[in-house]
Structure 1
């Protein structure tokens, strides 16, 4: 027995499986059958090893080889059959299917290609460093789906459509003027629909508990026929240092990320979903692309108090007008977090230039809102105590002469700077690279070194 190898392993088992990787024959059903059987055997071999956190060095080396071989075969399968797989999952692109349903639909149609929902739930019970990383394969799947123009544009379209929950809640909003979803609130003030992010324990951070509710609130703000303009802000904090004060957003919940409570699909749902809806509006049955398509959209105003960290800063890059308190600041500490800051790598250089954008992303440069660079992102800076009055004035200024041209001007800006197909290509790369980051050992070491994540309570 090899040193460090589990006693349950017979040496003859290894080469038989590694040497048996199936060849691609070109026929979808046949390749599914041969690959699914081989992936199943590889998964069984992996499951026979001790859990990741208890493995000897030799065990982990073997696990890494199994995962790498399986993923190479998955990448090859997707290169050959990715387009047909998407067609089958969407009825020849006759149905709009969100990423969550696509991921688990692919797991059912091609067993072993990506994890099942049960496998993802089992992984969710582990800390991030103890996960096997099965969700990584979802990154390969969506890299392929988004990388192909036909399926990628169709998927972007699907994710820009209003959620079923949003359509069901619209009458309630029209009747009551306010809905509290727990981690997000939508309320109408005059002709403005105000979306407030609400996660006070974590200073309005983003996590799996917030992303769906914020998307529903954003949908409702755009669907609401009784409002003309939208506002994005953070709800007041209750308890602690910022008790009673407004805070915009502290970005991804790093404590929950470390503890394994942020799923990989969270990144895609977030950036293909509500942030892109703020930037592009809601799609209907017709194409949302800029040249021949159409979306239902309104102008968005962001009201920034205290700080817009990470994801909070990313939101500002999708809004049309940013009002900030003079003591507020923005950061994109992606390198310390160990992840890619959403679409900021594409959008931030348009505001502050490439060099400053790289300093913000790669070297944690802080941008005070009331600074020359901060004013390239923020349109108006006011004293903290004057923010509410200033917000009322901004909304009045943006609506008192009508908002008929707002959507047209937004589309004109987008076709010049970020048409939907350009966004699609970015998200294809993001889907793959964020999967690498999400399951990288560097993410764990960064969170422990810069965030003391191993010492923080859930």
Structure 2
């Protein structure tokens, strides 16, 4: 029997409306009782897995119905009428405290820290349900997107020293700004070929914030550093994509990695950073042109990055790939952006068929602006940076981005991505594929993809 939703509440009493609905239906309590009685997910029988899945389905259907009806009221309650600007993790923590049973608590998620992905319950799916509802709302969703464009506290703490010295040394990224007005971001996870994990996402957002906030920076560059990995020792590599070892070991969270990455530093490269500044009356965000230089390869998330840069160079011996179907997860916002560059047929070949694009083949020119010999990369990079160092470039890239990627369309994509990616994280095929990387003696995070 379907439980009737309470009358549409104002944000002040939506908390009571949720408690009333959850109590009347009983489905949230039944899930809790069942999970308490069952063994851990990896130890369950087929019948126990089916029982858990059915209980989760009922609870998630209830959460979805409630949020489809009251997402704006919920968001207003959590942000005090949109006067607060919480980031994703802060929003979800507040939701867990204010609406018990709607999303997992911090303690519940912390209890799964250290578990491999296959042994987790899948509570992040409930986070995906809430975030989809919020992002689908033109009012709540836009407010959340703007909140995620704010500079991080870490970047603000580091900014005075970076402004003074022009250097920031982070674990995964090194930032250097010289007298030429260029902030050079060098990805330096040399042991894992710049495979992305939570550490790299955090460092990248900090680095992007510093480049955007630094008044002496006019143009920014992203390039891979030189590697110590045995197969690529001494050579530059752009990115091996998501760190599959981290995924298998449960270290790739929905909000702290997959959504923060898209709504944080990647979105800031496109839209800029939202902060108070003198020109705010006509340019709310601080934006700058960006160049990417691809040495070696740009796999998965590395290739996704290229779709937001103003100018992309690739060495002639480099290649690009987006093995989303092989890994089983959704490749971020690439499904939204890729066809704009390549057309729908080639986009499907890359995403669904795993087609690898070599820089030397004609189709690569749909994805990169220049292909140069490896020994000529340094000079070509400098020329491209000089070409983009112009106020007219900045104004026109803003208008191009507005035309290419309207905010409402981006928000609608992210809304569905939040839920679908959370489902993918706990799907059987992804758990099986990720499990192949669980062996701690494995030598590489990218070996099956490169």
TM-score by length of 1: 0.90
Residue of structure 1 equivalent to 2:230:
240
Provide the C-alpha distance between the structure 1 equivalents of 2:276 and 2:54, rounded to a whole number of angstroms: 45
Residue of structure 2 equivalent to 1:432:
419
After superposition, give the CA deviation of every residue in 1:248-301 in whole Å (9 maximum; x if it has no partner): 011111111112111111211000110011111112369x99x98632111000
Q: Does 1:228 align with 2:209?
A: no
Provide the C-alpha distance between the structure 2 equivalents of 1:116 and 1:332, rounded to a whole number of angstroms: 34
Provide the C-alpha distance between the structure 2 equivalents of 1:422 and 1:101, rounded to a whole number of angstroms: 25
Q: Does 1:24 align with 2:42?
A: no
Provide the C-alpha distance between the structure 2 equivalents of 1:253 and 1:443, rounded to a whole number of angstroms: 14
Aligned positions of 1:437-452 closer than 5 A: 437-447=424-434, 452=436
Deviation at 1:35, TM superposition (A): 4.6
SS at match of 1:202: coil
SS at match of 1:308: strand
Deviation at 1:246, TM superposition (A): 0.9
Residue of structure 1 equivalent to 2:265:
274
Deviation at 1:130, TM superposition (A): 1.5
Structure 2, unmatched stretches of 5+, are 443-450
Provide the C-alpha distance between the structure 1 equivalents of 2:386 and 2:52, rounded to a whole number of angstroms: 61
SS at match of 2:61: helix
Q: Does 1:313 align with 2:297?
A: no
Residue of structure 2 equivalent to 1:199:
189
Deviation at 1:41, TM superposition (A): 4.6
Pick from 318, 324, 338 the counterpart of residue 328 of structure 2: 338
Q: Is the 8 A contact 2:226 2:233 kept in 1?
A: yes
Q: Does 1:216 align with 2:202?
A: no
Q: Does 1:412 align with 2:399?
A: yes
Distance 1:302 1:420, change over 3 A: same
Residue of structure 2 equivalent to 1:373:
363
Provide the C-alpha distance between the structure 1 equivalents of 2:16 and 2:304, rounded to a whole number of angstroms: 44
Provide the C-alpha distance between the structure 2 equivalents of 1:370 and 1:322, rounded to a whole number of angstroms: 14
- How many residue pairs get matched? 431
Residue of structure 1 equivalent to 2:20:
34
Residue of structure 1 equivalent to 2:377:
387
Provide the C-alpha distance between the structure 2 equivalents of 1:385 and 1:44, rounded to a whole number of angstroms: 64
SS at match of 2:174: strand
Provide the C-alpha distance between the structure 2 equivalents of 1:75 and 1:196, rounded to a whole number of angstroms: 42
Q: Is the 8 A contact 1:336 1:447 kept in 2?
A: no
Structure 1, unmatched stretches of 5+, are 1-18
Pick from 131, 139, 155 the counterpart of residue 120 of structure 2: 131
Residue of structure 2 equivalent to 1:294:
284
SS at match of 1:411: helix
RMSD of the TM alignment (CA)? 2.1
Provide the C-alpha distance between the structure 2 equivalents of 1:370 and 1:213, rounded to a whole number of angstroms: 32
Q: Is the 8 A contact 1:236 1:245 kept in 2?
A: yes
TM-score by length of 2: 0.91
Provide the C-alpha distance between the structure 2 equivalents of 1:198 and 1:106, rounded to a whole number of angstroms: 36
Deviation at 1:160, TM superposition (A): 1.1
Pick from 40, 59, 78 the counterpart of residue 51 of structure 1: 40
Provide the C-alpha distance between the structure 2 equivalents of 1:72 and 1:342, rounded to a whole number of angstroms: 25
Q: Is the 8 A contact 1:186 1:193 kept in 2?
A: yes
